[in-house]
Copies of this chain bind each other. A is one copy, B any other.
């Protein structure tokens, strides 16, 4: 049983495995992240990041333009964000990992928006103070990835409104309610803050250009669900005299359950960045949906289906960086040589190794965080 997938910037509900990304791409009018454009990137970066090699980033808008400008000596900056409504899980972190790699390989500035206003406005029971508290928490996970404090600027919508609001009204003037309704599916029940919010999300797509008086290309790696904001943003930027931002679309890291279902009401479907080794092992053993057979015996005989197996999907997406090794895991698991428990143990070890390092860096981030906040 897989549930119908519902994607809006504020909700991902249903099964994210087996999503027809080709179809989504066409609907969105985005281009596939094909071998040609990846080869262009590789010229500048050497080996591509695992999230690019494994096509976790699946499509783009105007990446060739970003590379054209880079090759002309006009460096791009990276912009992405986080809606701070709770603890971050592994899926939330992946786009930021690509950002960190892009910063290193291209020497790029990184501009980060923490949209506490958005989360407060969208979640009926959330207090603004809660969203602000989660902001303080979530930035530690982001900083833990190793961003360069000299080249990384974190904005919080309610704290940096002095800088952001006057720019947001410039965007808002070009977005009418009719367009907003058709892009985002707003209804009469939608509050006016949410309607305005997309203007706030557009600000960092041109602020460095506005502040410097130069056209600095902007590259936005993001989850596909955030694309509507940037479709609107890209339509408006030329009207304000700025280039459209380029976009890199990430797939969704599936939840642990069958079909990769994701929902805030299924806390066991995600591994949080603060989970202990024991919790990780327990969640994966008990909740990671398996494409294997009911018994070891049957598995040896019939083999497993890696395409619906969450543990395999997670290894493939990110956690097994070694291309040869992931190929071998695929073969052995599919043929029945590898059992589900063995596959799960590989993932448990990988995730725990990752989190051990992440949690240590998260502690160190507490000392560094003040260097990252944008000062209005």
Contacts and interface: CB of A to CB of B under 8 A. Distances in A.
B161 A177 contact: no
A223 B174 CA distance: 29
A239 interface: no
Interface stretch (A38-46, A73-81, A94-102, A194-202): A194-202
Contact of A192 (B187, B188, B196): B196
A199 B192 contact: yes
Contacts of A181: 188
A4 to B, nearest CB: 26
A172 B188 CA distance: 14
A162 B189 CA distance: 27
B189 A172 contact: no
Given A128-B170, A161-B162, A161-B166, A188 B196 contact: no
Interface string A153-165: 0000111111011
A contact patch SS = helix
A170 to B, nearest CB: 6
A366 B143 CA distance: 47
A193 B196 contact: yes
Contacts of A199: 192-193
Contacts of A176: 188-192
Nearest to A195: B192
A176 to B, nearest CB: 5
B172 A121 contact: yes
A5 interface: no
Contacts of A178: 187-189
A121 B169 contact: yes
A193 B172 contact: yes
A155 to B, nearest CB: 12
Nearest to A162: B162
A367 B174 CA distance: 38
Contact of A165 (B161, B173, B186, B190): B161
A77 B351 CA distance: 58
A50 interface: no
A376 interface: yes
A124 to B, nearest CB: 8
A180 B196 CA distance: 13
Residue with the greatest number of chain B CB neighbours at <10 A, chosen from A121, A157, A168: A168
Given A120-B169, A121-B169, A170-B128, A175 B162 contact: no
A117 interface: yes
Contact of A177 (B165, B175, B186): B186
A190 B178 CA distance: 8
A166 B158 contact: yes
A367 B181 CA distance: 48
A219 to B, nearest CB: 26
Nearest to A178: B188
A177 B187 contact: yes
The 3 closest A-B pairs by CB, nearest first: A178-B188, A172-B193, A161-B165
17 contacts: A128-B169, A161-B164, A161-B165, A162-B376, A164-B165, A172-B196, A173-B193, A175-B191, A176-B188, A176-B190, A177-B187, A177-B190, A178-B188, A178-B189, A192-B192, A192-B198, A195-B196
Interface of A: 117, 120-121, 128, 157-162, 164-166, 168-170, 172-178, 180-181, 186-193, 195-196, 198-199, 376
Given A121-B173, A177-B195, 11 more contacts: A120-B173, A161-B165, A161-B166, A173-B193, A176-B189, A176-B191, A178-B187, A178-B189, A192-B195, A192-B199, A193-B199
